[in-house]
């Protein structure tokens, strides 16, 4: 049994993670941390866990966590995460980090998009990116894995193979993404106040969403190709789900069937990617670790679609998939 701690256990990714780990036969959850006061019982924070996990959220220092856990899932915000990860690693603890701190290739890009100075700069660029469909080997041998952003997951799973296989041009790629509201986290804000975002759709953070450089860099890391993706996120009135609609210019004269076949070949051994013929809906992936994707050709342009559940394949499901690989368990265990 692997003893697992979850740092920052009050949010949506944490509760989703706990639910997955509770059915994992090789995991025991031993600690939950929070920076809030009062040490509340986990069921007071997440009523859906009543009767399922008898732990309190505690304001624990790494030293205390290390005594209880072999592996840490870190759901802290960016910068807060990198401020503690080093200490865990030094104690031989394995870490799956949900923040953006270890996803990028260089600290300069990090500072440009996230601001501030990176707390752990020497590791940046040397950490496995936790998208097993593209980086399985690196993940298997890692003590630290950077769990991917949800938008990048939905975009890169489509773009990386299409680019790598020479099927689309790298310039003028557009990623028009639509996400449910849970992606914005659990802290109440006016933009996610129910009567504001219900019955409405709008774009946000146009031209400055932090997942933009992540998409470009991960594509480059995998395919060796430079992109300058135009990424536009939209907020949709639903709890979960991301649909990315992707526009690119074809590099070959392959038709829809050929493109689909190439994608199916590419993902032949990926248990969580489903290349489908129909137009996928986010609901098809609700609560699951699947990424459903398809592709069309419209007036000479490649138009691709990919759907994930932002809290599962876009966060906690991917984290457990990485965990399984890091520990040599079957990749699909508990997923």
Q: Catalytic site residues?
A: 150
Which CB atom, from 70 or from 239, has the smaller least distance to a second copy? 239
| Rounded least distance, CB 315 to a second copy, Å | 13
- Distance from C-alpha of 309 to C-alpha of 243, rounded to nearest angstrom: 9
In the DSSP assignment, the letter for residue 205 is S
**Quick one: which of 56, 68, 220, 234 contacts a second copy (CB under 8 A)?**
234
Instruction: Please list every residue from 118 through 137 that binds a second copy, using CB under 8 A.
Output: none
Span 201-230, contacts to a second copy by CB under 8 A? 201-204, 206-207, 228, 230
239 lies in the site for a second copy, by CB under 8 A: yes
Q: What is the Cα–Cα distance from 287 to 64, expressed in whole angstroms?
A: 33
Burial class (CB in 10 A: 0-12, 13-18, 19+), 55: middle
Distance CA 30, CA 262 (A): 44
- Binding segment for a second copy (CB under 8 A), chosen from 53-61, 73-81, 136-144, 281-289, is 281-289
DSSP one-letter code for 35: S
Neighbouring CB atoms inside 10 A of 261's CB total 13
The sign of the torsion formed by the CA atoms of 93, 98, 103, 107 equals: negative
CB of 19 to a second copy, least distance (A): 9
Between 115 and 237, CB nearer to a second copy: 237
Going by C-beta distance under 8 Å and a sequence separation of 6 or more, which residues neighbour residue 88? Answer: 62, 65, 66, 72, 74, 95
Q: Should residue 330 be labelled a site residue for a second copy when binding is judged by CB under 8 A?
A: no
Q: Which of 71, 96, 307, 326 binds a second copy (CB under 8 A)?
A: 307
Q: Contact between 100 and a second copy (CB under 8 A)? A: no
- Using the CB atoms, write b or e for 94-128: b if 16+ within 10 Å: bbbbbbbbbbbbebebbeebbeeebebeebbbebb
Query: Contact region for a second copy (CB under 8 A) — 96-104, 110-118, 124-132, 276-284?
Result: 276-284
Looking at the Cβ atoms of 219 and 326, the one nearer to a second copy is 219
Q: Which stretch binds a second copy (CB under 8 A): 95-103, 126-134, 283-291, 320-328?
A: 283-291
Q: Would you count residue 248 as binding a second copy (CB under 8 A)?
A: no
Structure tokens that stand for 333 in this block = 């265990």
**Binding residues vs a second copy (CB under 8 A):** 12, 47-48, 50-51, 172, 174, 176, 178, 180-182, 186-190, 192-204, 206-207, 228, 230, 232, 234, 236-241, 243, 245, 247, 274, 276, 278-288, 290, 292, 296-299, 301, 303, 305, 307
């Amino acid at each position: 049994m692997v003893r697992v701690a979850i740092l920052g256990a009050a949010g949506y990714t944490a509760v989703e993670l706990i639910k997955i780990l509770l059915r994992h036969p090789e995991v025991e959850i031993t600690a939950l941390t929070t920076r809030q006061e009062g040490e509340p019982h986990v069921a007071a924070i997440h009523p859906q866990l009543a009767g399922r996990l008898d732990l309190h959220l505690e304001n624990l220092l790494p030293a205390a966590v290390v005594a209880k856990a072999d592996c840490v899932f870190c759901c802290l915000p960016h910068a807060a995460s990198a401020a503690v990860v080093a200490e865990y690693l030094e104690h031989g603890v394995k870490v799956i980090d949900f923040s953006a701190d270890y996803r990028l290739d260089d600290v300069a890009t990090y500072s440009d998009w996230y601001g501030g100075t990176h707390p752990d700069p020497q590791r940046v660029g040397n950490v496995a990116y936790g998208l097993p469909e593209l980086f399985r080997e690196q993940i298997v041998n890692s003590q630290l894995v950077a769990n991917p952003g949800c938008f990048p997951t939905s975009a890169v799973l489509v773009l990386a193979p299409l680019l790598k296989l020479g099927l689309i041009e790298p310039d003028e790629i557009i990623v028009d993404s639509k996400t449910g509201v849970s992606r914005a986290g659990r802290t109440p804000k006016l933009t996610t106040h129910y009567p504001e975002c219900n019955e409405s759709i709008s774009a946000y953070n146009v031209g400055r969403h932090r997942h933009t450089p992540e998409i470009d860099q991960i594509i480059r890391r995998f395919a060796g190709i430079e992109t300058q993706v135009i990424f536009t996120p939209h907020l949709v009135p639903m709890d979960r789900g991301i649909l990315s609609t992707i526009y690119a210019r074809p590099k070959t004269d392959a038709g829809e069937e050929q493109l689909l076949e190439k994608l199916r070949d590419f993902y032949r051994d990926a248990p969580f990617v489903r290349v489908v013929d129909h137009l996928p809906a986010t609901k098809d992936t609700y609560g699951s670790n699947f990424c459903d994707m398809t592709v069309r050709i419209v007036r000479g342009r490649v138009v691709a679609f990919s759907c994930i559940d932002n809290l599962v394949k876009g966060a906690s499901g991917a984290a457990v998939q990485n965990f399984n690989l890091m520990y040599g368990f079957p990749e699909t265990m508990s997923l």
